Amino acid sequence: MLRAGVEVGGTFTDLVAVEGGKVIVGKVPSVPRSPDEGAYNALLAGGVAIDRIDDLVHGSTVATNAVLERRGAKVAFIATAGFRDVLFLQRHDRRSIYDLGYAKPAALAERRDCFEVAERVLADGAVETALDELSVARLLDGPLATGGYDAVAICLLNAYANPAHESRVAALIRARMPHLQVTCSSDVAREFREYERASTAVLAAYVQPVIARYLDRFEGKLKEAGFQGKFSIMQSSGGRTPAEGMKRNAVTALFSGPAAGATGAARLAARAGFRNLITVDMGGTSTDVTLVVDGEPQLASETEIDGLPVRTPVLDIVSVGAGGGSIVWVDDGGMLRVGPRSSGADPGPACYGRGGQQPTVTDAHVIRGTIRPKAFLGGRMNIDVDKARAVFAPLAERFGMSLEEVADSAIRIAEANIVRAIQIVSTERGHDPRDYALLPFGGAGPLHAGRIAEDLGVRTILVPPCAGVISAYGLLAADYVHHETATRRIELKPGVEPGIREAVAEMRARAAKRFSDIGLEGSPVFDVTAEMRFVGQAFEVPVALPIDAMDTLTVEEIGRLFEVAHERLYRHGASGRKRIEIVAFRLGAGLPLEALPMISAPDSVGDIAETAAVTERRKSFDCPVRARAGIEPGALVEGPLLLEDSTSTIYIPEGWGGEVDAWYNLVLRRAS
Amino acid sequence: MITVDPVDYAVISQSLIAAAREMGAKMIRSAYSTIVREARDCSAAILDRHGNVVAQAELIPMQLGPMATTFKACAALYPVDQLVEGDFYINNDPFEGGQHLPDIFIFTPIFLDGTVIGFGATTAHHLDLGGGAPGLNSLASDIYQEGLRIPPSRYNMRDWGEKGMFQRLVTANIRVPDQTIGDLNAQFAANNTGAERVKELARKYGIETVDAVMAELLDYSERRVRAALRAVPNGVYYAEDAIDDDGITDTPLVIKVKVTVKDDEIDLDFDGTCEQVQRNLNCPYASTVSAALSCVKAVLTSADIPFNEGLKRPITVTAPYGSLLNPRPPAPVRARMEAGYRVWNAVMKALAQVVPEKVIACGYDTTYVGAFSHLGPAGYKIYLEVFGGGYGASAGTDGCDAVDGPLSNCANAPIESLDMDHDFIRVVDYSLVPDSGGAGEWRGGLGFVRRYEVLKEGVELNLYADRFRIAPDGLFGGEAGMPGACEVKRDGQTFRLKSKDKAVLRKGDVVSLICGGGAGYGPPSRRRRDLVDRDVEQGYVSRKASERAYGTVRQAAE
């Protein structure tokens, strides 16, 4: 069975192909104007026989870039009469409270393309004003006929409770204008809060034609080359969907890149027996962190892109501007800071010698000795130490420190920024990071893992093999996943259990139908979460319900589960006497892979035994250097030590030691 | 200049700011009333052991100043060194450092090894604290009619809880205790979260280091403000603005400021401002200071300077006792935000004379509060929202459309949330108001309208707003923004309410809260043609209004 994962990133397109025990890893430059070309090139460059691929999984930034660069579809937006301005009114608040020239996030539909139809549904789903089909007909005869639209997004008030009017408007449009892509808000986000739901619907409509065209083009090219396998696409939830599914709801592709990385990391670690993890993906411009609980990366129910809210299941990933290219600077109050601005891939850090004039985290490593010029990216990249030192000289002078000391300080601040991001996904969500192992990946993650772990009190670190291509691996390791949401307000009272069971059963049936519609066979595995709150609150706390025990689950048990979750998050609430309600359900349906593909050690290049002059945490010392490939499974290593391989460098601080396990993970533990 | 290790400083200071942000986020997400959970009318901060604010969640600018003054009033009576575990300070008294009664300030001491190392502090706007009308008594003539006054006090968590005597006293005096007590609990919990974070830092880095970082954070803000002030030419600058009226007579309430910049200090003197008034437009001194500081900070410094006590050191604010901006008790003060906004406008106009490229024209800059309430068999139902309008334009940007005013930052309540929660009103329209932004080289932001259908007999509306008569002034040739209004349509007739008013509504009435637009910056003749055309194409400006202000409209447009 030949499986291939191709991940299109901003700078590079990564490939991981697996057949039996053989792994092909590849990296080619992306082709920003035509990402499918880069993806295709990656397969060719890796020598993968396209006509023999059984399973091809693809992740790309096409949807994300369409939004960020405003190159999506021309969208018409339809709202309930009186509310067509919802995309511009937004939530009436400002993100930056002292910015006098503040501008709201720019909507993806223009105001002249926003229309109204007469109707009103109430919060309980009752129809207060029937849909005036004449008002729809007027749109069909007028602006929709002449506007030159690619797509239509419909968001009617309270459609989450009763989508009948939305469905009817969509049907009327499709009947007259079958070429138009129509998105109903109730299909993409079945939750209350009209601005957030409208924003999600418009985003879906905006990226839909772009994704559909892109996938058609790529699939066409693959077919020409004889491709006959399954073709699936990564989603923001960390699961994959057949390309057919993505063409129905492309909004789920918006955050697929970071999701692939977290999923890959979670799957690799689970195989080695680590199910509770903090994953740290440190790349050139930013670091993405995620919490993995019992083998599954945690989901968030809301996020945003370019300031626009997205209400669709997405992995709870917090991104912080602390990557290798992040710029080290001093603000006008004299504080040393790192990021969020980055020197990017071009010009990149000063030590790349491509014209970078600003000190960066990578330059700091070169000065401090934790990146050795001759070993960086396996020696494929020329590193100019003098340029790194030159850009750090003014900082050293300003703080009265040596170059090494100021470089070390900058790295400690970058690490503290990452620690704070981890605290957001752990402590702030009521999880103690000390109960988790740290899994660093991306080019720079393993350099910082030791100190980050110490700051958090984490005692175990797992460094996977091929840490630089975990995202592409994640594509191969992802299950087929589909999520259903349903807003259904149920106050917890004796006797409401049948209603809860019925709601869950309905969602199960819908998810199962969705799988069969897109051609997936097998028995899905389900999980269900109730979004709950005390009556009167507005934000819900997710509470996982035992899906296998739904038949015997009582409201008392559900209430207890909720109070524990609320107390953990907010430190109040568990009185046992307050009224509690369920507001919505979220059901995940997953079709697990029969077998997880293997990824093992890269080709051995032999060990080295050298030392490097390192300054770290204010101490200067000669640090031993070895090649990662030289460490056999079972052999012990001990810090301080630099371990180099072709995609990353691992720094093991003093006090840490460990071994390579049977899956070529380096498992480090801190001496007590 | 920095005495602590730069890395410790960077790490700990950012952690303190993150702690304040987390406190704010959790308070909002676990709160009960619409005003806190949806509108986010609340703030959170970490204070040092002396009560200096060192880090704040940037939620509501107006609430950021008085954290320290309300604290100090408590600490003066009940010294910090006599506090025990479980104690807290609480204060909402406008004449003891507070704002208006609904903003209750709570301070939780952070104990480590038996000593206080700082405070977790929050304030939230509470939906109803009793008084002469549900949610808002717009006709109050003294503070006693405005609700429950909690003087600077120290209680213990023993006094809270369902059988705690303090909680019982509060509960007995307010109309919707489930929501208000729930919101207060969210405040206590947020304070505890902040305390936990500071304790973690102190355990890890040592109390002394955290102390030193707190002190340095204050110095840091001070340095950055002084640096900004040094860039402003020395001089004395005068300006004024006015509130429409006091709700009784038609006389505008004039606010005057003399701004003196000398080297790295600035003095704001409100001498010449009108006397205090009989209705709720009086602005407690702490609110005056907050409004003035917010304007100086927004105009002169970059947005990322932490708002803390250090920022205040180079800035002095004075207002005559007995004036609108420093009233004597028992003046009613509920609508102090309107005077706060005129303070903001006056200081802005004064600074416009010396840093024209940094200021903005007047926006609608009004807190527009409509409180709808209904007494049914199940008790009171109260719905209250806080609205802004259009922002003033700057040298280089059009004013932001339909957003809360610069001293506040309340979000709107989703229509679907109101549909779920309220059976006595229904929103039937929420739209931008075309042509409401003042014309100019840069156009003022648009105002908006919210229209409510009344679903039951006897719904009461209490209202306060401003700029129904005096429009926001443009700058450097920019035109004024559109004033606001409140209209009630009943049986085919429309009548208008005043900006400070009260009405009993009938089933079927349709009430329009119309929030005005911001003013323009620079002469309309200099507006870029593509922006003129865009505004007409997108319906922000009507063809007719565009022709009047900017001349012929391109034919292809619209």
**Structure tokens, A53:** 């691929």
Q: Which residue out of B196, B383, B416 would a mutagenesis test of the A interface target, given it has the greatest number of A Cβ atoms within 10 Å?
A: B416
Q: E strands along A350-466, which residues?
A: 437-441, 460-463
Question: What value does the mean pLDDT take over residues B198-211?
Answer: 94
pLDDT at A602: 54
| Shortest Cα–Cα distance, A550 to chain B (Å) | 28
Which of A91, A98, A536 is nearest residue B32 as measured by Cβ atoms?
A: A536
Residue B220: its chain A contacts at CB < 8 A?
Answer: 333-335
Tell me what percent of the residues of chain B surpass a pLDDT of 70.
98
pLDDT at A595: 67
**Residue B431: its H or E element:** strand B425-432
Q: Which residue of B has its CA nearest to A408?
A: B7
Hey, are the CB atoms on A333 and B431 less than 8 Å from each other? no
Q: Is B31's Cβ below 8 Å from some Cβ in A?
A: yes
| Shortest Cα–Cα distance, A95 to chain B (Å) | 9
Residue A158: its chain B contacts at CB < 8 A?
Answer: 416, 419
Cα torsion B497, B499, B505, B509 to 10°: value is: 60
Give residue-wise pLDDT tens across range B261-281: 999 999 999 999 999 999 999
Residue B378: its chain A contacts at CB < 8 A?
Answer: none
Instruction: Report d(CA B534, CA A531) in Å as an integer.
Output: 43
B274 belongs to a structural domain: no
Residue at which a domain ends, from B204, B219, B234:
B219
pLDDT at A20: 75
Compute the Cα dihedral for A514, A520, A522, A528 and give only its sign.
Answer: negative
B107 belongs to a structural domain: yes
Residue B227: its chain A contacts at CB < 8 A?
Answer: 332-333
Residue A241, beta-bridge partner list: A233
Is residue A450 within 8 Å of A639, Cβ to Cβ?
Answer: yes
| Whether residue B159 is found in the same domain as residue B10 | yes
**Structure tokens, A320:** 């912080």
pLDDT at A196: 96
SS3 sequence of A316-355: CEEEECCCCCEEEEECCCCCEEEEEEECCCCCCCHHHCCC
Among B202, B170, B172, residue whose Cα is nearest residue B183: B170
pLDDT at B6: 84
Q: Which residue out of A104, A570, A583 would a mutagenesis test of the B interface target, given it has the greatest number of B Cβ atoms within 10 Å?
A: A570
Which of B220, B303, B401 is nearest residue A99 as measured by Cβ atoms?
A: B303
Hey, are the CB atoms on B14 and A534 less than 8 Å from each other? no
Which of A92, A158, A195 is nearest residue B404 as measured by Cβ atoms?
A: A92
Question: What value does the mean pLDDT take over residues A396-422?
Answer: 94
Question: What value does the mean pLDDT take over residues B199-223?
Answer: 93
Residue A48, beta-bridge partner list: none
B443 belongs to a structural domain: yes
Hey, are the CB atoms on A112 and B539 less than 8 Å from each other? yes
B436 belongs to a structural domain: yes
Which of B303, B402, B416 is nearest residue A98 as measured by Cβ atoms?
A: B303
Return the number of other C-beta atoms located less than 10 Å from residue B231's C-beta. Answer: 10
**What average pLDDT is seen over chain A?**
90
Question: What value does the mean pLDDT take over residues A490-516?
Answer: 91
Residue B542: its chain A contacts at CB < 8 A?
Answer: none
B394 belongs to a structural domain: yes
Q: Which residues 6+ apart lie within 8 Å of A259 measured at CB?
A: A234, A235, A236, A237, A238, A297, A314, A315, A317, A474
Is residue A40 within 8 Å of A218, Cβ to Cβ?
Answer: yes
Instruction: Report d(CA A217, CA B232) in Å as an integer.
Output: 59
Q: What is the DSSP string of B122-178?
A: EEEE-S---SSSSS--TT-SSGGGG-----SEEEEGGGSSTT-HHHHHHHHT-S-HH
**Torsions phi, psi of A89, nearest 5?**
-70, -40
Residues B146-167: b if buried by 16+ CB within 10 A, e if exposed: bbbbbebbbbebebbeeebebb
Among B142, B140, B151, residue whose Cα is nearest residue B331: B142
Residue at which a domain ends, from B219, B242, B272:
B219
Q: What is the DSSP string of A208-262?
A: HHHHHHHHHHHHHHHHHTT--SEEEEE-TTS-EEEHHHHTT-GGGGTTHHHHHHH
Number of residues written out for chain A: 672
Tell me what percent of the residues of chain B surpass a pLDDT of 90.
83
Give residue-wise pLDDT tens across range A30-87: 777 788 888 998 999 889 999 999 999 999 888 888 898 888 999 999 999 999 999 9
Is residue A57 within 8 Å of A4, Cβ to Cβ?
Answer: yes
pLDDT at A144: 97
Compute the Cα dihedral for B407, B411, B412, B417 and give only its sign.
Answer: negative
Residue A91: its chain B contacts at CB < 8 A?
Answer: 411-412
Q: What's the maximum distance between 2 C-alpha atoms anywhere in chain B?
A: 76
pLDDT at A645: 80
B519 belongs to a structural domain: yes
Residue at which a domain ends, from B197, B219, B241:
B219
Give residue-wise pLDDT tens across range A282-304: 987 789 999 999 998 998 877 88
Is residue A334 within 8 Å of B2, Cβ to Cβ?
Answer: yes
**Residue A526: its H or E element:** strand A525-534
List the Cα angle B255/B258/B263 in 5-degree steps: 150
Hey, are the CB atoms on A570 and B30 less than 8 Å from each other? yes
| Shortest Cα–Cα distance, A415 to chain B (Å) | 9
Q: Is B180's Cβ below 8 Å from some Cβ in A?
A: no
**Structure tokens, A520:** 């997936």
pLDDT at B1: 45
**Which three-class secondary structure state does DSSP give residue A29?**
strand
**Which three-class secondary structure state does DSSP give residue A393?**
helix
R_g of chain A computed on alpha carbons: 26
Q: Does residue B2 register a pLDDT over 80?
A: no
Instruction: Report d(CA A557, CA A319) in Å as an integer.
Output: 36
Question: What value does the mean pLDDT take over residues B325-330?
Answer: 97
pLDDT at A378: 66
Q: What is the DSSP string of B476-529?
A: TTPPPPPP-EEEEEETTEEEEE-SEEEEEE-TT-EEEEEE-PPPPBS-GGGS-H
ipTM of the complex: 0.93
pLDDT at B488: 98
Q: What is the DSSP string of A533-589?
A: EETT-SS-EEEEE-GGGGGG--HHHHHHHHHHHHHHHHS----S-S-EEEEEEEEEE
List the Cα angle A386/A392/A395 in 5-degree steps: 155
Among B412, B520, B36, B461, residue whose Cα is nearest residue A85: B412
**Residue A532: its H or E element:** strand A525-534
Which of A103, A157, A333 is nearest residue B220 as measured by Cβ atoms?
A: A333
Return the number of other C-beta atoms located less than 10 Å from residue A474's C-beta. Answer: 32
- Cα–Cα separations (whole angstroms), residue A294 to A291, A550, A586, B443: 10, 21, 18, 54
Hey, are the CB atoms on B182 and A534 less than 8 Å from each other? yes
Q: Which residues 6+ apart lie within 8 Å of B240 measured at CB?
A: B254, B255, B256, B257, B346, B349
| Shortest Cα–Cα distance, B171 to chain A (Å) | 16
| Shortest Cα–Cα distance, A530 to chain B (Å) | 17
**Tally of structural domains, chain B:** 2
**Which three-class secondary structure state does DSSP give residue B442?**
strand
Directed axis angle between helix A403-425 and helix A445-456, to 10°? 70
B103 belongs to a structural domain: yes
Hey, are the CB atoms on B30 and A572 less than 8 Å from each other? yes
Hey, are the CB atoms on A88 and B402 less than 8 Å from each other? yes
pLDDT at B557: 44
| Shortest Cα–Cα distance, A157 to chain B (Å) | 7
Domains along the sequence of chain A with CATH: 75-207 (no CATH), 480-591 (3.30.1490)
| Shortest Cα–Cα distance, B282 to chain A (Å) | 25
pLDDT at A567: 86
**Residue B36: its H or E element:** helix B34-37
| Shortest Cα–Cα distance, A559 to chain B (Å) | 17
Domain of B42 in residue numbering reads as 6-219
Judged by average pLDDT, the poorest of A246-250, A401-405, A488-492, B109-113 is: A246-250
The position carrying tokens 């195989």 is A271
Q: Does residue B556 register a pLDDT over 60?
A: no
Between A390 and A331, where is the model more confident? A390
What number of C-beta contacts closer than 8 Å exist between A and B? 196
Q: Does residue A367 register a pLDDT over 90?
A: yes
| Shortest Cα–Cα distance, B141 to chain A (Å) | 32
Instruction: Report d(CA A57, CA A297) in Å as an integer.
Output: 19
Q: Is B96's Cβ below 8 Å from some Cβ in A?
A: no
Between A121 and A579, where is the model more confident? A121
- Window 274-313 of B: residues touching A by CB (8 A cutoff) are 294, 297-299, 302-305
B157 belongs to a structural domain: yes
Which of B185, B359, B414 is nearest residue A192 as measured by Cβ atoms?
A: B414
Residue B221: its chain A contacts at CB < 8 A?
Answer: 333
Return the number of other C-beta atoms located less than 10 Å from residue B356's C-beta. Answer: 13
Residue A331: its chain B contacts at CB < 8 A?
Answer: 304
**What average pLDDT is seen over chain B?**
93
| B317 alpha-carbon distance from chain centroid | 18
Q: Is B224's Cβ below 8 Å from some Cβ in A?
A: yes
Which range scores top for mean pLDDT: A470-484, B70-84, B405-419? Answer: B70-84
Q: Does residue A233 register a pLDDT over 60?
A: yes
Which of A85, A91, A192 is nearest residue B411 as measured by Cβ atoms?
A: A91
Sheet holding A151-155, edge to edge: A114-117, A75-80, A151-155, A181-184
**Structure tokens, B88:** 């807290």
Hey, are the CB atoms on A102 and B400 less than 8 Å from each other? yes
Instruction: Report d(CA A648, CA A642) in Å as an integer.
Output: 11
Q: Which residue of B has its CA nearest to A111?
A: B538
R_g of chain B computed on alpha carbons: 24
Q: Which residue of A has its CA nearest to B358?
A: A100
Cβ-in-10-Å burial (0-12, 13-18, 19+) of A45 comes to middle
SS3 sequence of B166-226: HHHHHHHCCCCHHHHHHHHHHHHHHHHHHHHHHHHHHHHHCHHHHHHHHHHHHHHHHHHHH
